[in-house]
Amino acid sequence: MRKPALYSPSAGPAAPRDGAQGGESQAVEAAPVVQPAAPPRRWRAAAGRAASSPRLMWSALVLLAALLAASVWHNGARGPRALTQKDIDAAVLRTLTTQNLPSPAARAAEKIRPAVVRVMSYGKNAKGETVEQGVGTGVVIVDKGVILTNLHVVQGAQSIKVVFSDGSESVATISGVQAHNDLAVLQAHTIPDDMIAATMRSTGDLVPGDEVVAVGFPFGIGPSTSAGVISGFGRAFKSPEGEQEIGNLIQFDAAANPGNSGGPLVTMDGEVVGIVTGILNPTSHRTFVGIGFAVPIESAASAAGLPPF
């Protein structure tokens, strides 16, 4: 059974502690529960980063094994010395200082990449031949093959094809449209067995300056990754090719170009907060000058009939 759309979970309230029970008539007090010492803050965050990198985790395990072997050899007849918290701290810190960790943008791109697809639309030329008329990007939001993209990428197409991250291809059809936000919902006819859908996240607590990553196929090249920040909210944009103005957009400065349309805008956790829909350029060239726009994921998800956050 396939899973529904994924949303980033929010932390729930902590469970209330039980009130203390007992009285003076009790002859025996319950033994206090000894809680294990929390790992020092200086490497708890580092351990989280290590969890996303198998190479780093294996390096840490090797170092720990080396420490244990050295301890046994050094103590000789006195027997092995048990590893202390100080030994573990030293091993983790040594790993962090000797290994090149992936950047936050690289980790975000790696997480979202399995859900990013190339979208190609086809039409007929004057000779009646089938030709490619548009290339864009899409993101899988439900693992049964539901894909979000821009309407202008597929509008007027006689046929649509999507290419998944594993290289497999599928015919797709338009199953929904939200024209006022330039959004289209595609349904792929064939999907990979291990299809991974993106996780969506509310934009409610985002602020200008938060880092974001755009992943897509600019000029058909990709998947390509660019990083930047959110520049603002509530922006309006009117495409030079169209008459309709789109409102309530996220402005960002991660590089985007023709072909990025329909791709995901994600946080450093790799969670989708918007669908890239356009770039602003005061010249006649269709190239990026630092201002891009994305439809907030709340609006984009509603185009697919998904519940609000």
Q: 59-73 pLDDT, tens per residue? A: 656 566 666 656 555
Neighbours of 83 (CB within 10 A): 13
Q: How far apart are the C-alpha atoms of 149 and 137, rounded to whole Å?
A: 6
Q: Is the pLDDT of residue 25 over 70?
A: no
Which of 59, 182, 226, 253 is catalytic? The answer is 182
Q: How confident is the model at residue 186 (pLDDT cuts 50, 70, 90)?
A: very high
Higher pLDDT, residue 27 or 252: 252
| Same-domain check for residues 287 and 217 | yes
CA angle 72, 78, 83 (to 5 degrees): 45
For the question of residue 261 being annotated catalytic, the response is yes
- Per-residue pLDDT at 55: 57
Domain that includes residue 76, residue range: 42-101
Catalytic pick among 59, 121, 152, 253: 152
Give the domain-ending residue among 124, 156, 188. 188
The CATH number of the domain holding residue 158 is 2.40.10.10
**Whether 76 and 117 share a structural domain:** no
C-alpha R_g of the chain: 26
Contacts of 137 (CB under 8 A, 6+ apart): 116, 117, 118, 119, 149, 153, 215, 216, 217, 222, 223, 259, 260, 261, 262, 263, 264, 276
The answer to whether 271 and 201 have CB atoms below 8 angstroms apart is yes
CA angle centred on 88, ends 87 and 89, rounded to 5°:
90
Quickly state the pLDDT bin for 91 (edges 50, 70, 90): confident
Asked if pLDDT for residue 157 goes beyond 90, the answer is: yes
C-alpha closest to that of 101 among 46, 61, 42, 41: 46
Number of domains in the chain: 3
Contact 229, 211 (CB under 8 A): yes
What is the pLDDT averaged over residues 111-121? 97
pTM: 0.70
Whether 288 has a pLDDT exceeding 90, the answer reads: no
- Range 256-288 burial, b when 16+ CB lie within 10 A, else e: bbbbbbbbbbbbbebbbbbbbbbbbeeeeeeeb
Is 243 a residue whose pLDDT tops 50?
yes
Q: Look at residue 54 and give its three-state secondary structure.
A: helix
Q: Is the pLDDT of residue 41 over 80?
A: no
Domain boundary among 128, 153, 188: 188
pLDDT reading at 195 higher than 80 = yes
Q: 89 and 114 share a domain?
A: no
Q: Which of 74, 101, 128 is the last residue in one of the domains? A: 101
Instruction: Mark whether 152 is an active-site residue.
Output: yes
What pLDDT is recorded for position 93? 79
Q: Is 182 a catalytic residue?
A: yes
Neighbours of 217 (CB within 10 A): 26
Give whichever of 54-58, 61-65, 226-230, 283-287 has the largest mean pLDDT: 226-230
- For residues 167 and 120, membership in a common domain is answered with yes
